[in-house]
């Protein structure tokens, strides 16, 4: 039986996580020849017959073929099997379809992250790295220009603080609404390094938040996969993102280190309106992190002048400035009751399959089981997102 996609009319819905699934050739429309010659195409350069078939089928459907499939997808936006293939999903890379998808389910705002072309910025050549990020961000602005509800997220490298500041200014002027940034310490600098302060000041003044997304930091590193036994995926393109089952329990580790530096070294104290969104990195870890931040400060911070000078408990900076998008398979109701109403945000991860076949139902069932109040539901579905984005 076909499941009709939800259309919510009794509350405002804001989606904190979605993606564009760029087809081959998309990035080439924005990048210089120098960038293209010095970056890897990754999966987009694949000769795998299955991948080529998916891309061709998606292009045919967008061009008007397979109208019956398109209509079926609109009736079951999240659950239809075509969503699982990404490149054939409704609104995967066609902005007109993406706008219609918001109408179908009743979403008032949606953060849109880049997809597979993020791999282009992973190069040691800084000119190429910053050039690839600029090309990617130009494409995101174009895609999201179709409707004010689409809020484009750009990638911001942090290798050279001066160039990063210039890039952020340029991309904000272009229309980028949030930045995904790396979380690892780069070139010997802590995330709290004073060289980054002008960047935080710019983002705070512009009302543009930082987002830490899956892939922002190191996950289950390759050496931990070296067991001496050969392992293969059943389907070579079953997951073109970086996530593996082994990643899930440790996704948040680099995020916790980043947040600890930003809070303990007073960056969130100095920039009280700098907002941070943690996306597709789960939320089960947040209750323990809030407690550990305070324990570290109270039990071991008596000789640390910076910690002594903080005006609030570390967990209170988190509650004030950090918003988190839980995974649909988590017990979000339990997390909400253990962290308070001001942190969690609804999200779909559309059209990536990790968002599940029924994100609305999965979240609502968990929240209902926890007895979430009307106030808590309003915050989860819209208000926490609005605070993140300054809406």
Helix (H, G, I), strand (E, B) or coil at 19: strand
pLDDT at 2: 46
Whether the per-residue pLDDT at 227 is higher than 80: the answer is: no
Mean pLDDT of 60-68: 92
Residues 4 and 114: beta-carbon distance below 8 Å? no
* pLDDT beyond 70 at 259: yes
pLDDT band of residue 235 (cuts 50, 70, 90) is low
Q: Are 7 and 102 in contact (CB under 8 A)?
A: no
The CATH classification number of 14-389 equals 3.20.20.140
When pLDDT is averaged across residues 57-80 and rounded to a whole number, the result is 93
Helices (H), the chain: 33-37, 49-62, 67-75, 95-105, 126-144, 161-174, 197-206, 253-264, 267-270, 286-300, 305-308, 314-321, 332-339, 359-369, 374-378, 384-389
Is pLDDT of 240 > 60? no
User: Which pLDDT belongs to residue 239?
Assistant: 47
Per DSSP, 81 falls in state: G
Are 349 and 282 in contact, with CB atoms under 8 Å apart? Answer: no
What pLDDT is attached to residue 234? 54
- Residue 243, pLDDT score: 59
Domain-by-domain residue ranges, the chain?
A: 14-389
Picking from 115, 162, 132, 161, the residue whose alpha carbon sits closest to that of residue 34 is 132
pLDDT per residue as tens digits for the range 306-337: 898 999 999 999 999 999 999 999 999 999 99
Predicted confidence band at 14 (pLDDT cuts at 50, 70, 90)?
very high
CA distances in angstroms from 295 to 190, 305, 307, listed in the order given:
22, 16, 12
DSSP at 219: -
Q: Residue 386: CB partners within 8 Å, gap ≥ 6?
A: 14
The better pLDDT of the pair 247, 260 is held by 260
pLDDT band at 169 (very low <50, low <70, confident <90, very high): very high
109 touches 391 (CB < 8 A): yes
Q: Which residue has the higher pLDDT, 324 or 237?
A: 324
Residue 238: predicted pLDDT: 47
Distance (Å, whole) CA 371 – CA 333: 8
* Stated pTM of the model: 0.93
* Residue 248: per-residue pLDDT: 74
- The lowest-confidence range among 203-217, 220-234, 280-294 is 220-234
Q: Tell me the three state secondary structure of residue 363.
A: helix
With 90 as the cut, is the pLDDT of residue 85 above it?
no
Note the pLDDT tens digit of each residue in 120-168: 998 889 999 999 999 999 999 999 999 999 999 999 999 999 999 999 9
Which tens digits make up the pLDDT trace of 265-288?
A: 999 999 999 999 999 999 999 999
Residues 15, 111: Cα–Cα separation, whole Å: 6
Segment 356-381, tens digit of pLDDT: 999 999 999 999 999 999 999 999 99
Q: Which of the pair, 140 or 119, is modelled with greater confidence?
A: 140
Average pLDDT, the chain: 91
Q: Please compute the mean of the pLDDT values over residues 58-80 and round it to a whole number.
A: 93
Q: How many CB atoms are closer than 10 A to CB 171? A: 24
Report how far residue 21's alpha carbon sits from residue 88's, in angstroms, rounded to the nearest whole number. 9
Residue by residue, what is the 3-state secondary structure of 145-210?
A: CCCCCEEEEEECCCCCHHHHHHHHHHHHHHCCCEEECCCCCECCECCCCHHHHHHHHHHHHHCCCE
Question: Residue 231: its pLDDT value, please?
Answer: 62
Rg of the chain (C-alpha set): 21
- Residue 217: its pLDDT value, please? 62
């Amino acid at each position: 039986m076909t499941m009709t996609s939800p259309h919510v009319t009794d509350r405002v819905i804001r989606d904190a996580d979605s993606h564009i699934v760029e087809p081959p050739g998309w990035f080439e429309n924005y990048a210089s020849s120098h960038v293209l010659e010095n970056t890897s195409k990754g999966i987009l350069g694949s000769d795998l017959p299955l991948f080529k078939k998916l891309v061709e089928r998606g292009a045919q459907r967008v061009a008007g073929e397979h109208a019956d499939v398109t209509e079926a997808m609109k009736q079951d936006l999240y659950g239809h099997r075509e969503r699982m293939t990404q490149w054939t999903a409704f609104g995967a890379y066609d902005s007109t379809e993406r706008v219609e998808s918001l109408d179908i389910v009743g979403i008032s705002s949606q953060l849109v992250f880049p997809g597979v072309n993020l791999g282009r910025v992973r190069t040691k050549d800084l000119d190429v790295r910053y050039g690839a990020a600029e090309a990617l961000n130009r494409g995101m602005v174009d895609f999201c220009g179709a409707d004010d509800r689409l809020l484009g997220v750009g990638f911001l490298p942090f290798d050279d603080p001066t160039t990063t500041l210039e890039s952020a200014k340029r991309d904000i002027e272009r229309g980028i609404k949030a930045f995904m940034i790396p979380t690892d310490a780069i070139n010997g600098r802590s995330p709290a390094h004073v060289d980054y302060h002008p960047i935080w000041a710019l983002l705070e003044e512009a009302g543009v938040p930082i987002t830490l997304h899956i892939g922002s930091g190191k996950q289950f590193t390759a050496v931990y996969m070296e067991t001496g036994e050969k392992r293969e995926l059943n389907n070579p393109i079953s997951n073109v993102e970086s996530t593996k089952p082994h990643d899930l329990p440790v996704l948040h580790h680099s995020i916790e280190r980043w947040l600890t530096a930003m809070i303990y070294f007073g960056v969130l104290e100095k920039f009280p309106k700098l907002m941070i969104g943690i996306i597709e990195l789960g939320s089960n870890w947040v209750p323990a992190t809030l407690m550990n931040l305070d324990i570290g400060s109270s039990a071991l911070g008596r000789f640390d002048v910076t910690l002594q000078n903080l005006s609030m408990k570390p967990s209170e900076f988190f509650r004030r400035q950090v918003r988190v998008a839980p995974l649909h398979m988590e017990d979000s109701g339990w997390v909400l009751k253990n962290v308070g109403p001001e942190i969690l945000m609804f999200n779909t991860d559309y059209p990536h399959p990790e968002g599940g076949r029924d994100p609305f139902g999965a979240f609502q069932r968990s929240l209902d089981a926890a007895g979430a109040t009307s106030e808590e539901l309003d915050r989860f579905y819209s208000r926490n997102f609005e605070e993140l984005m300054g809406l």
